[in-house]
Amino acid sequence: MTDFTATKAMFHLPEGVVYLDGNSLGPLPRAASHRMQQVIEDEWGEMLITGWNRAGWMEAPLRVGDRIGRLIGAEPGQVVMGDTLSIKVYQALAAALALRPDRRVILSDSGNFPSDLYMAEGLIRALGQGHELRVVAPGEVAAQITDEVAVLMLTEVDYRTGRLHDMAALTKAAHAAGALTVWDLAHSAGAVPVNLADAGADFAVGCTYKFLNGGPGAPAFIYVAPRHADAVQPALSGWLGHAAPFDFEPRYRAGAGVARMRVGTPPVLALAALDAALDVWEGVAMADLRARSQSLSERFISAVEAACPDLTLASPRDPECRGSQVSFRFAEGYAATQALIARGVIGDFRAPDIMRFGITPLYLDEGDIDRAAQTLAEILNGRIWDDPAYRTRAAVT
């Protein structure tokens, strides 16, 4: 049984704060600060250039990738770290399209994160081969998987509503139609059980600064199914994906397996913070995490619905169809979120009317959930959101 009191103690949380925005940026794992000081002072400071070998910097993207792999049902050697999620989407999509040269449709949905759609747009323009990005409603995806589709590109958990796609069923349907899949796990990795191997996923990508708590702008990851890993020709063919980077050959030769998805010099400092953050997961069973996430989410929904009749649940009511967040619709959601933050309950807002709350059992307990629901009720029922101080929009909340 996972000890969630122990995991909570591994995080620094500011005094008096209930943090329900771990689906956007995870809080600081206490170990990250010390580990960063070590990598800066003992490694960079003392080893200088020799740190690439002596401190294992060069292999860190694969070593840390294996740690992520354990959380998403991948074997060692199938996940590598680097760049940002947007770059990894580009790499995965380019690789998948090249494996289906006779098809022209990328199928996605309107619940996908915009950057994934933007990167697809850019890739389509670069390729200049008349590919079409077909964006349908989330509920229409299954019906739209036709034999025109080259790649089904979806984010498993909707960043606004928390709606969870059935990865295994949709991957099976894609394969039956001759299509490949690219799964974005931004709101899945560390949030819900993921088993890429069992689902038969072809490519998967994700960020590590949300439920994996790697820090602001932490490096992204990419998974390539072993059946494709030696077949794909990288579009972003950088020297660290080369078979022999330090031979400095004039022509590109792709390295073996997922290592060919490396591009440039690895972000050593950021990887150190992420590596420390991943220590939290050592004693965590994903089934326990999922059960507790659902239990805390149900508790939050019940309390909010009982006390706040003006809010409408935007997330699926069935816990099995939700990721690890709960969203409500409220026309004055922006101001209400600001008022909540002013009272130490940090959630966030997504236009036009979504109030989002990340439910993260690693560091949230029943007391936090109850305080959040109670504070939300005070703001709604006291019309505190109507205070002009909370209605001025900033660029980011």
Regarding 381 and contact with a second copy (CB under 8 A), the answer is: no
268-278 vs 60-69: helix crossing angle, rounded to 10: 30
From the list 62, 69, 79, 83, which residue makes contact with a second copy (rule: CB under 8 A)? 83
* Residue 353 is a catalytic residue: no
For 7, 109, 139, 144, 326, the CA distances from 136, given in Å and listed in that order, are: 39, 5, 8, 8, 23
H helix and E strand count, the chain: 14, 15
Pick 19 or 330: Cβ nearer a second copy: 19
Please pick, among 184, 202, 348, 368, the residue that the annotation labels catalytic.
Answer: 184
Q: Which residues pair with 41 in a beta bridge?
A: none
Pick 233 or 312: Cβ nearer a second copy: 233
Please pick, among 88, 103, 160, 210, the residue that the annotation labels catalytic.
Answer: 210
Regarding 238 and contact with a second copy (CB under 8 A), the answer is: yes
- Look at residues 340, 319, 337 and name the one whose alpha carbon lies nearest to residue 329: 337
Q: From residue 92 to residue 121, what is the string marking binding to a second copy with x (rule CB under 8 A)?
A: --x---------------x--xxx-xxx-x
- Is-contact 203 234, C-beta < 8 A? no
CB of 318 to a second copy, least distance (A): 25
For 23, 210, 269, 348, the CA distances from 20, given in Å and listed in that order, are: 8, 11, 27, 8
Regarding 264 and contact with a second copy (CB under 8 A), the answer is: yes
Regarding 27 and contact with a second copy (CB under 8 A), the answer is: yes
Burial 202-233 (b: 16+ CB within 10 A, else e): bbbbbbbbbbbbbbeebbbbbbbbeeebeebe
Residues within window 333-352 making contact with a second copy, judged by CB under 8 A: 341, 346, 348, 350-351
Q: From residue 122 to residue 141, what is the string marking binding to a second copy with x (rule CB under 8 A)?
A: xx-xxxxx-----x------
Pick 165 or 242: Cβ nearer a second copy: 242
Positive/negative CA dihedral, 153, 165, 2, 304? positive
* Residue 209 is a catalytic residue: yes
* DSSP of 142-191: GGG--TTEEEEEEESB-TTT-BBP-HHHHHHHHHHTT-EEEEE-TTTTTT
Pick 273 or 380: Cβ nearer a second copy: 273
Regarding 14 and contact with a second copy (CB under 8 A), the answer is: yes
Q: Which residues pair with 302 in a beta bridge?
A: none
Residues within window 174-213 making contact with a second copy, judged by CB under 8 A: 207, 209
CB of 30 to a second copy, least distance (A): 9
Pick 115 or 374: Cβ nearer a second copy: 115
Burial 167-180 (b: 16+ CB within 10 A, else e): beebbebbeebebb
Applying CB under 8 A, which part among 35-43, 65-73, 317-325, 327-335 lies near a second copy? Answer: 35-43
Q: Residue 352 contacts by C-beta under 8 Å, 6 or more apart in sequence?
A: none
* Residue 356 is a catalytic residue: yes
From the list 138, 178, 200, 217, which residue makes contact with a second copy (rule: CB under 8 A)? 217
CB of 168 to a second copy, least distance (A): 27
Applying CB under 8 A, which part among 142-150, 263-271, 285-293, 319-327 lies near a second copy? Answer: 263-271
* Residue 113 is a catalytic residue: yes
* Residue 184 is a catalytic residue: yes
Which residues are the active-site residues? 113, 184, 209-210, 356
